[in-house]
Amino acid sequence: MKKQIIFLAALMGFAGTQLNAQSKAEDIFRTYRLGLFIGPTFNSMRPTASTMETYSVSKTKGNIGFSFGLTADYNINDRYTLFSGIGMDWRGGSISTVHDSTSIKVEYVKSAAVKYKLQYLTVPLGLKMKAAEFDKIKVFATTGVDLGVLLSQRGDATLQPTTQATPLVLEKSKLGGTATVVPVNAGWFIGAGAEYELNDKNSFYVSLIYRNGFTDVTTPKTNDPYKKFSDGNIRSNTFAIRVGYFF
């Protein structure tokens, strides 16, 4: 009889431990979440001023890129969520700059037209705020900042040097030394989206995000001699559509 009582007590203790562990695991899943995202990006590079050091600067064309990555959520409460992660972003755009004076340094070009195709490793830090909830659908707004580390700078460039009549033309080439890009770019973003809950642990979401860089993207004054030009302060802008899954 004593053995049966001891066995039942041990079994109840084990069951209680399992239930407690399960409860803690569920709390962890509710507090921390990992997810994946993917989607297209629509990018442009915008000068903050139309003239800079005797150069007229203008934005010409944007480009379509791509992004994917991993996101990590920390749910502060039912309404607010902090998030970070890591991703790959393809950005870029086209810039044209033309010298508008007869006096020009020999190492600088008369004009430059550059199409940038840039790849970044990005790390965001943001806040997600639940705006409304309808059954299994949550509508949210999001804002924050991100940091992008340049991995690749390629594109097309047409430069008109002062020392020759024939322009220098590059197509689908590395732009380092010809249209140099800053290695680190920072920006802020704002967006909105909706999340559909599949079960207690998994959900599907879609969001629209606008990102605006607040640091200069390019440094053409550091180009190789006879390839230098000025384009002022160039900011990177992106509209991104993201489709994701939390697990």
Query: What digits encode the pLDDT tens for the residues 37-86?
Result: 999 999 999 999 998 888 999 999 999 999 999 999 999 998 999 999 99
Q: What is the pLDDT of residue 24?
A: 45
pLDDT of residue 175: 94
Is residue 214 scored above 80 in pLDDT? yes
Q: The whole model's pTM is what?
A: 0.85
Query: For residue 101, what pLDDT band results from cuts at 50, 70 and 90?
Result: confident
What value does the mean pLDDT of the chain take? 89
pLDDT(35) > 80: yes
CB atoms within 10 A of CB 17: 10
Question: What residues does each domain of the chain span?
Answer: 32-246
Residue 113 has pLDDT above 50, yes or no: yes
Task: Say which amino acid occupies 77.
Answer: N
For residue 30, the model assigns a pLDDT of 65
Give the residue, 163 or 114, on which the prediction is more confident.
Answer: 114
* pLDDT tens for each residue of 163-193: 888 999 999 999 999 999 999 999 999 999 9
Residue 7 has pLDDT above 50, yes or no: no
CATH topology of domain 32-246: Porin (2.40.160)
